[in-house]
Amino acid sequence: MRQNLIFKAKILLLSTLLSTALLAQQDEKVQDEKIIQIHALNQNKSTQGIGEAIGSVTLKDTPEGMALTIRLKDIPAGEHGFHIHENPSCAFQIQDGKVVSGALAGGHYDPHHTKIHAGPGQKGHLGDLQKLIANQDNIVEQEMIAPDLKIADIMNRAFIIHEKGDNYSDEPLPLGGGGARIACGVIN
CA torsion angle 99 101 102 108 (round to 10): -90
Q: Which of 145, 87, 91, 81 is nearest to 117 (CA)?
A: 81
Distance CA 44, CA 37 (A): 19
pLDDT digits (tens, 9 = 90+) for 169-188: 766 555 556 889 999 999 99
Distance from first CA to last CA of the chain, Å, rounded? 56
The pLDDT value given to residue 54: 98
Cis-peptide, bond into residue 76, ω within 30° of zero: no
Residue 73, C-beta contacts closer than 8 angstroms, at least 6 positions apart: 54, 55, 138, 139
The pTM assigned to this predicted structure is 0.80
Name residue 74's amino acid.
D
Q: Which of 97, 98, 75 is nearest to 159 (CA)?
A: 75
Are the CB atoms for 105 and 158 separated by under 8 Å? yes
DSSP secondary structure string, 84-147? EESSS----EEETTEEETTGGG-SB--TT-------TTSSS-TTB-PPEEE-TTS-EEEEEEET
pLDDT digits (tens, 9 = 90+) for 81-130: 999 999 999 999 998 988 899 999 999 999 999 888 777 778 888 899 99
The pLDDT value given to residue 24: 47
